[in-house]
Structure 1
């Protein structure tokens, strides 16, 4: 009998699905909920915890003034101080979405805290619907952060509809992409016969075609007429969910154990196919319009 393989670089991921609510009166309870749920994840051995987009504020602002009142700075905000202290106390990595105030600008941002402090953050590049009225599009590019448990990339919600985002993160060596979300109900059909939503399939596809783990945390519930999809999941390097996909209604915590020494060596179907190597970047630029197409007038 062959010896069981011992994980060389293990990570236990926890994706948290819950129901934050907008309103200044809810800020403290939202924050305390994130900490209590993260504490539960720690008791189950998680060392990478992913919370949804705008986890401390809720989502459906009525005006830019209201969004500004909910926002906090990256370094001095109450939520970020609390999340940083939590990560330090438990020696874990915590990803969360928050409304970031930088001077007079607002960003829909995600932050990565680790045992030794802030590792970095990301500002949402692709703004959805009325987000364009409150937030400035992100200006940080698509950074990947080195950690002892692997290289971590961040994206936010609508970003997953743009395949360039997970591809750019993967090409920079991301082992895990943490996707923080407020996926909303849109005109039907919302779910297929298997009960899956399009956002789940996009996450599965992005993980599959980029050979990367994606941990996607969404929220649930209703807020000022908007309803949220749930359907949080953790997709493995082959795309398929590790464990269950969360339902649309219930709060939950999903867990997945991944060994990054295995994910980095994951095979691409056969010995002759390799996704990064097989890309035809020599053809993409002009055809996709990243640079002016030679057929267009100059």
Structure 2
């Protein structure tokens, strides 16, 4: 593929689908003007996230969308030749999933349902069951949603499936139980950055981390969108503000260079880890 520009979005999205589509259109247009080939929007960009993670109100949930419906098709049409990842609440009969979809103007390239669920999320969402990478015009890609990236096995499974780029879509809040006066001192703020850099470095892949900003209900989101190289180095970031972190990188070349002497995936010892690992 060679050099590409990658954008990680930090932005606020609420319940209004009309406003969400307008904001996505503006962000895609801004990214296109910067030459971005891959744009990763936050989790729950279409319809917003839960307003209370510990005791979610069943009467105030994000709208559940058809995974092949008009809103997903609209985002694909906006993407055109760009690869765009976006999060939404997926309707599947009586079930809801916290989901992400990766699209271009040609349609859907890949899907992911969030596997790992924090606190009360399992009250309103069913859990996904797998991590699968897929081919895109910018390279082989895998997606993680929020809490998925807390677990090393999630990113490792995608890397073993050939993912060169990990798109991590989040609606990641500041600490709910122990809020700090400044966002930079918040425990969840430190962990969010730590997980991003660790998942990239331990798998020697490019990681693109998006996140929501602002607040909904009692949830205050961190922002901190970023692009991380295969050595764990942050190539671009938004800090806590809204915006797009843009980095230019040749993923295949940078990954090959990172793995030239020490190749973590090849040097694994699965038989030493036991069946419970």
Tell me the matched-pair count: 268
The match for 1:178 is: 167
The match for 2:66 is: 73
The match for 1:5 is: none
Q: Report SS of the residue matched to 2:111.
A: strand
1:46 aligns with 2:40: no
TM-score by length of 2: 0.91
The match for 2:77 is: 85
Q: Does the aligned pair in 2 maintain the 1:230–1:246 contact within 8 Å?
A: yes
Q: Which has the larger radius of gyration?
A: 1
The separation in 2 between residues aligned to 1:144 and 1:283, in whole angstroms, is 26
Of 58, 61, 66 in structure 2, the residue corresponding to residue 64 of structure 1 is 58
The separation in 2 between residues aligned to 1:196 and 1:111, in whole angstroms, is 25
The match for 1:105 is: 95
1:28 aligns with 2:22: no
Cα deviation per residue 1:263-285 (whole Å; 9 max; x = unaligned)? 331234x73x3211221100213
1:65 positional shift: 4.6
Higher relative CO (CA 8 A, sep ≥ 6), structure 1 or 2? 2
Of 95, 113, 116 in structure 1, the residue corresponding to residue 106 of structure 2 is 116
Of 93, 96, 101 in structure 1, the residue corresponding to residue 86 of structure 2 is 96
1:167 aligns with 2:160: no
1:252 positional shift: 0.7
Pairing of 1:1-298 with structure 2 (within 5 A): 9-22=2-15, 26-61=16-51, 62-67=56-61, 70-76=63-69, 78-88=70-80, 91-139=81-129, 141-186=130-175, 187-188=178-179, 191-192=184-185, 197-243=190-236, 245-248=237-240, 250-268=241-259, 271=261, 273-286=262-275, 289-290=276-277
Cα deviation per residue 1:154-195 (whole Å; 9 max; x = unaligned)? 0001011100011111111111100000111112566359x9
TM-score by length of 1: 0.85
What's the RMSD between the two structures over aligned residues?
2.0
Cα separation, partners in 2 of 1:108 and 1:196, compared to 1, 3 Å: closer
Consecutive unaligned residues of structure 2, counting only runs of 5 or more, are none
- Write out the 4+ residue segments of structure 1 that deviate beyond 4 Å after TM superposition: none
The separation in 1 between residues aligned to 2:93 and 2:2, in whole angstroms, is 40
My pick for the range that moved more, 149-158 or 27-36, is 27-36
Q: Does the aligned pair in 2 maintain the 1:175–1:263 contact within 8 Å?
A: no
Q: Does the aligned pair in 2 maintain the 1:208–1:238 contact within 8 Å?
A: yes
Cα deviation per residue 1:103-129 (whole Å; 9 max; x = unaligned)? 111000000002321112000000122
